[in-house]
């Protein structure tokens, strides 16, 4: 038996040796053939740059485009941008010029440079195109497809008509490069301007014996329309906050164990470029920015019964959409207490130099007394001299023009709400 096993091993070694010899002969013959036939026998490979370009084309992200006026930007605009971003990998946003807005809709409330600050700050936006045209012309559409590599043009389910009554997105639809998202219920720039006009009329006449119209705005009294005696109906806020919407706007991560948490609080009513810039500075001071949003009652008690224009949940969503904000406290207390600082592990409390009312800084009941005593309070120089009152003053100063603009827009909004049907979307 031992001899048989040895014979088997010897046979296996011989076969292995023979295979190696034959393989060597074949390999040698192949090399000799390549040498004799010259370099042309070697198949040419594409240049490395060409390979990279093909690879990039195969893996190129889907780029989507959405344009808008984004005048007095609110959470409805932000939700539209969030939905648009979900339809692609990169969202490019066109911000329409002041001249185009004036020609097609009436004078804008916020100038282009402020609107660009607002759009850039939305966390779902990857890049912007300033001075975009109001209508998607064939020339501009081709520019989007060739220069900006746009795959699809996005707009909401509400119609966007040019002054001559034609569809502003007709060419994109015809080209098969158009996608639609669901309009966010309960808010529009027209609605917000209307709220301010009503409050201004109420404050100037003081003819109402019932509760402030502002309180109706903040309470969300259905789809009520109030003409304030002017004959021009304005939709009162009917925003219905849901837990899912708050989750959609929220960030998924919390602070790390060693994070430097910065806290800033305020009303953040009619969220504007001044708010964005102070939040940007605050975020640069730490690893995590926590923003406290004061309640409607707190704001009314400190700034008058006509405030806030936007209710607590509306204001919270606008702040949550800002890329510099990590988390918000919905209904934050007026006073920053020791317990609150400990609970949220706050390292620094900040406040801007530009605000609606700075009188509290001189009061004995300073809401920042505790963080001041702890040595963790800091005032930040506000980059922009803009407040909520600034926006309201712009409306009042050009009251007639905005009234006409609203009357025209309200007719189309009413038609939209009367004829709208369910649109599946997030």
Closest CA to 115 of 146, 154, 72: 72
Structure tokens at 16: 């292995």
Helix H or strand E segment including 217: helix 213-219
pLDDT of 198 reads 73
365-393 per-residue burial string, b: 16 or more CB within 10 A, e: under 16: eebbebbeeeebbeebebbbebbbebbbe
C-beta of residue 352 within 8 angstroms of C-beta of residue 383: no
9: Cβ contacts below 8 Å, ≥ 6 apart: none
Closest CA to 189 of 414, 406, 407: 406
pLDDT of 408 reads 56
Given a cut of 60, whether residue 9 has pLDDT beyond it is no
C-beta of residue 74 within 8 angstroms of C-beta of residue 310: yes
pLDDT of 249 reads 95
144 or 356: which carries more pLDDT confidence? 144
Strands 225-226 vs 234-235: parallel, antiparallel or unpaired: antiparallel
The rounded distance, in Å, linking the Cα atoms of 159 and 166 is 10
pLDDT of 19 reads 55
pLDDT of 29 reads 53
pLDDT of 128 reads 97
The fraction of the chain above a pLDDT of 90, given in percent, is 52
pLDDT of 103 reads 87
> The whole model's pTM is what?
0.75
Given a cut of 60, whether residue 163 has pLDDT beyond it is yes
C-beta of residue 85 within 8 angstroms of C-beta of residue 124: yes
96: Cβ contacts below 8 Å, ≥ 6 apart: 67, 68, 69, 70, 131, 132, 133, 134
For the stretch 294-351, pLDDT in tens is: 999 999 998 888 889 999 999 999 999 999 999 999 999 999 999 999 999 999 999 9
Residue 397 pLDDT level (bands cut at 50, 70, 90): confident
Closest CA to 367 of 385, 347, 341: 341
The rounded distance, in Å, linking the Cα atoms of 310 and 195 is 9
pLDDT of 13 reads 54
């Amino acid at each position: 038996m031992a001899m048989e096993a040895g014979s088997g091993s010897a046979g296996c070694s011989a076969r292995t040796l023979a295979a190696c010899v034959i393989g060597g002969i074949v390999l040698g013959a192949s090399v000799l053939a390549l040498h004799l036939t010259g370099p042309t026998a070697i198949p040419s490979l594409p240049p490395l740059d060409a390979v990279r370009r093909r690879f990039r084309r195969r893996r190129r992200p889907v780029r989507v485009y959405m344009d808008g006026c984004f005048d007095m930007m609110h959470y409805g605009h932000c939700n539209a941008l969030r939905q648009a971003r979900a339809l692609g990998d990169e969202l490019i946003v066109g911000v329409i010029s002041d001249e185009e807005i004036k020609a097609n809709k009436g004078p804008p409330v916020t100038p282009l440079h402020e609107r660009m600050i607002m759009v850039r700050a939305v966390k779902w936006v990857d890049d912007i195109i300033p001075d975009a045209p109001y209508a998607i012309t064939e020339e501009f559409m081709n520019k989007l497809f060739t220069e900006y590599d746009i795959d699809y043009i996005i707009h909401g389910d509400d119609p966007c008509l040019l002054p001559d009554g034609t569809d502003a997105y007709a060419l994109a639809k015809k080209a098969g490069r158009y996608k639609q998202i669901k309009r966010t219920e309960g808010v529009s720039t027209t609605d917000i301007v209307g709220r301010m006009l009503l409050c201004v009329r109420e404050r100037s006449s003081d003819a109402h014996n019932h509760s402030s119209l502002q309180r109706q705005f903040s309470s969300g009294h259905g789809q009520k329309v109030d003409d304030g005696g002017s004959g021009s109906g304005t939709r009162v806020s009917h925003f219905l906050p849901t837990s899912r919407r708050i989750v959609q706007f929220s960030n998924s991560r919390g602070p790390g164990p060693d994070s430097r948490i910065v806290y800033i609080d305020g009303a953040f009513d009619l969220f504007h470029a001044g708010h964005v810039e102070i939040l940007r500075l605050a975020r640069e001071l730490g690893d995590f920015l926590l923003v406290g949003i004061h309640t409607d009652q707190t704001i009314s008690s400190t700034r008058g019964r006509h405030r806030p224009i936007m209710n607590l949940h509306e204001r919270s969503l606008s702040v949550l959409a800002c890329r510099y904000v990590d988390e918000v406290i919905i209904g934050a207390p007026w006073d920053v207490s020791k317990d609150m600082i400990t609970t949220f592990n706050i390292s620094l409390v900040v406040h801007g130099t530009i605000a609606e009312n700075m009188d509290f800084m001189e009061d004995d009941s300073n809401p920042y007394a505790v963080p001041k005593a702890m040595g963790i309070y800091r005032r930040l120089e506000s980059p922009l001299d803009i407040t909520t009152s600034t926006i309201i003053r712009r409306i009042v100063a050009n009251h007639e023009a905005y009234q006409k603009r609203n009357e025209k827009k309200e007719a189309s909004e009413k038609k939209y709400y009367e004829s709208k049907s369910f649109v599946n979307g997030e």
